[in-house]
Amino acid sequence: MCGIVGYVGEKQALEIVVAGLRRLEYRGYDSAGVAVVADRELHTRKKAGKLANLEVLLGTDPLPGSTIGIGHTRWATHGVPNDLNAHPHTSADGRVAIIHNGIIENFAELRDDLIANGVPITSDTDSEVVAHLLAAALPVHDGDLPEAMRSVCRLLEGAFTLVAINADQPDLVVGARRNSPLVVGVGDGENFMASDVSAFIAHTREAIELGQDQVVVLTRDSVTVTDFFGEPAPVTPFTVTWDASAAEKGGYDLFMLKEIAEQPKAVADTLLGRIDRSGSLQLDDMRLSDAELRAVSKVIIIACGTAYHAGMVAKYAIEHWTRIPCEVELASEFRYRDPIVDPRTLIIAISQSGETMDTLMAMRHAREQGAKVLAICNTQGATIPRESDAALYTYAGPEIAVASTKAFLTQIVACYLVALYLAQVRGNKFPDEIRAIIAELADMPSLVDLVLDTAEPVRRLAHLFADARSVLFIGRHVGFPVALEGALKLKELAYMHAEGFAAGELKHGPIALIEDGLPVIVVAPSPRGRSVLHEKIVSNIQEVRARGAVTIVIAEEGDEAVAAYADHIIRVPQCPTLMQPLVSTVPLQVFACEMATVKGHDVDQPRNLAKSVTVE
């Protein structure tokens, strides 16, 4: 979750590190800090609150010039957000500084040992113990920071990314990772490490994936990777396919507004190059054989948050097109209920970052039972696709706003591609049928564009209901997960009570929540594709309206049957039933974004949330 940056080269490190932190501020937001080595002395500055607070401090209390430095933006796990708990943490002698992402599960035991040996502990964090352990290990290893890091990592339990510098070795930065993201950027006379490539993309697109339990040593001219025992480790270089401008706001007031507007392109890019010369569907990193896919008897989708809702949408398509039973599981619950998984189970793990810890651990549990794993991810070089048997990348580009928008749409599209690929391999659909569905998907960017062009009434509705205490969302079939996603966006951004329900469940309890003036947003299915469900949703609208609710209905063009029962109607273009989530979700994103703006909230960085949840 935290943002991590390290640099060694020929330029002023502080400028590069702070710029990198600015790009990573969406990952952690409750404090920030930096450390540099100058004239063989360690210098640190850190401050609670936004990165801007640190920048003010650096203006009034500047650091000396240096060509080596590390920086951190924190999302608190141990210890309240304050100056003392901010990173970097330093050893008692002030010679070693570390930054940390993750949770060190055995830190209490390690801290007690340090205290027993007279080491002063000054913060409430689990991270500080690493600085003291490194300082203690250095004399044992002749002052060599890389070897000290390897020995300390062997003591640690849990998930961690660590980056350290040593005043006595002013020409290197050392990093380590276990179950937490760390990527290396390779430059010319300079090298970088960060928790996300966006931190260094302005300087280089050449990067290296770091594997599990590895230590990396950077000098300005070299990158050395070993395991925790010092054995050379294989590295996988890759080239980042987007540039720095993709992570800038591009004239929009908010990253979220920019990312909502980028959804047509993101969907189109995710579809690019999926049909080969023979007309068959192809996936970019499919390492599962046709025989393995034909043997699949059950699909389980594991994901969290917005990605879980994408998986719920995908279930309808997978079962409809392939006739394979499909379950959708919250990754955080999956491995704790003793799931029934075997070698004929295909796990689809969905994660925008590819580092979501709950999803990663659930995936590993499934692999231990012999299941095959296919990852859907937006981040090259991430842990989840790297540890999977196959991967399908969503080419959405960087998503900076914490609340996910374009990732959701591209995850649905990617899931649909997987479903069609399974149908192709297993013979459930003829090639012309698959091409027809791909053609329908290819029409979606223009339809999403149309929704965006007609979104102004949705913004006005957000102003109209800004004082509402609660908003309910209802839907049926694929409209149900869309309702859940709409409610989640309102919770994340507007900090208000919002709940999504399957409309058929209203009479089984939730209708008790209906009161005069309560806004109820209804995702109406098409009267063409699901006429029976459409009739039922009209009844649901009448039920809540009769009890005083104000109904806001998302309905396709030409659907006049709902008009008589809608206090407000949001029109979306006509499209096939399984494609409807790609258009009906967009007004709900706009509504939540505008509602948060009206309330004066930080839309891009909502309170208590981080972009990538890398701890369980």
Compute the distance between CA of residue 577 and CA of residue 330 in angstroms, rounded to an integer. 25
> Both tokens of residue 343?
């070698």
Compute the distance between CA of residue 116 and CA of residue 103 in angstroms, rounded to an integer. 22
Half-sphere exposure of 483 (CA within 13 A, CB side): 25
Q: Tell me, yes or no, if 415 is annotated catalytic.
A: no
What is the side-by-side order of every strand in the sheet holding 183-186?
41-48, 31-38, 68-74, 3-8, 191-194, 183-186, 206-209, 236-239
What is the side-by-side order of every strand in the sheet holding 497-502?
497-502, 470-475, 519-523, 550-556, 568-572
Count Cβ atoms below 10 Å from residue 267 Cβ, excluding itself.
Answer: 26
Strands 519-523 and 214-218: unpaired
Helices first, then strands: H and E counts in the chain: 18, 24
Write phi, then psi, for 469 (nearest 5 degrees): -80, -25
> Both tokens of residue 24?
């990573």
E strands, 65-168, are 68-74, 89-90, 96-104, 158-166
Give the type of residue at 243. D
Compute the distance between CA of residue 570 and CA of residue 551 in angstroms, rounded to an integer. 11
Compute the distance between CA of residue 428 and CA of residue 449 in angstroms, rounded to an integer. 32
Q: Which residues have CB under 8 Å from 602's CB, separation 6+?
A: none
Compute the distance between CA of residue 311 and CA of residue 376 in angstroms, rounded to an integer. 10
> Both tokens of residue 61?
């209390």
Q: How would DSSP label each residue in 372-388?
A: EEEEEESSTT-HHHHTS
Write phi, then psi, for 285 (nearest 5 degrees): -135, 55
> Both tokens of residue 194?
């960060």
Compute the distance between CA of residue 334 and CA of residue 330 in angstroms, rounded to an integer. 6
Q: Tell me, yes or no, if 315 is annotated catalytic.
A: no
Q: Is 209 helix (H, G, I), strand (E, B) or coil?
A: strand
What is the sign, positive or negative, of the torsion defined by CA atoms of 216, 217, 220, 222?
negative
> Both tokens of residue 143?
């002052």
Q: Which residues have CB under 8 Å from 557's CB, separation 6+?
A: 571, 572, 573, 574
> Both tokens of residue 527?
């009267």
Query: 3-state secondary structure string, 403-435?
Result: CCCHHHHHHHHHHHHHHHHHHHHHCCCCHHHHH
Contact between 434 and 420 under an 8 Å Cβ cutoff? The reply is yes
User: Of residues 2, 304, 326, 415, which has the active-site annotation?
Assistant: 2
**Active-site annotation, residues:** 2, 611
